[in-house]
């Protein structure tokens, strides 16, 4: 995890905005396919290391990780438990929702919310 933190720090080149954008967007992408709780738990040492080495408040990094992992889960039918339950209930009611139809609607909405969230983090915390 220290290697991951070092890699993110190296890619961002000390640019806090880029570092935050990487974390929020990678978190969102990962959470679209992986359960967000284990992913967030795994990323805690990474954000702690980045906060210490890059001089960013840990609270800022916590919000970045939280927003990315939470919002990213909306993008796919398996990204969040509510999505799985919702698509199952719809299928049982005779209205199956395919991956394609779900993602066709959810991915653009998730991207829009992610853009807004990234900008809010920049304005509010930096």
* Per-residue confidence (pLDDT) for residue 78, from 0 to 100: 94
Mean pLDDT over residues 27-53, rounded?
92
* Per-residue confidence (pLDDT) for residue 73, from 0 to 100: 93
**pTM of structure:** 0.88
Contact 75/114 with Cβ under 8 angstroms? no
What is d(CA 31, CA 10) in angstroms, rounded to the nearest whole number? 23
What is d(CA 84, CA 55) in angstroms, rounded to the nearest whole number? 39
Q: Shortest CA distance to 121 belongs to which of 47, 36, 13?
A: 47
With 90 as the cut, is the pLDDT of residue 54 above it? Answer: no
């Amino acid at each position: 995890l220290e290697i991951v933190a070092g890699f993110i720090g190296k890619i961002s080149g000390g640019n806090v905005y880029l570092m935050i954008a990487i974390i929020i967007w990678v978190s969102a992408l990962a959470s679209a396919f992986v359960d967000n709780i284990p992913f967030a738990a795994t990323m805690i040492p990474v954000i702690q290391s980045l906060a210490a080495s890059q001089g960013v408040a840990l609270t800022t990094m916590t919000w970045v990780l939280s927003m990315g992992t939470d919002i990213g889960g909306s993008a796919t039918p398996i990204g969040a438990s509510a999505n799985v339950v919702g698509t199952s209930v719809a299928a049982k009611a005779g209205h199956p929702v395919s991956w394609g139809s779900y993602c066709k609607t959810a991915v653009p909405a998730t991207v829009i919310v992610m853009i807004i969230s990234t900008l809010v983090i920049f304005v509010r915390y930096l």
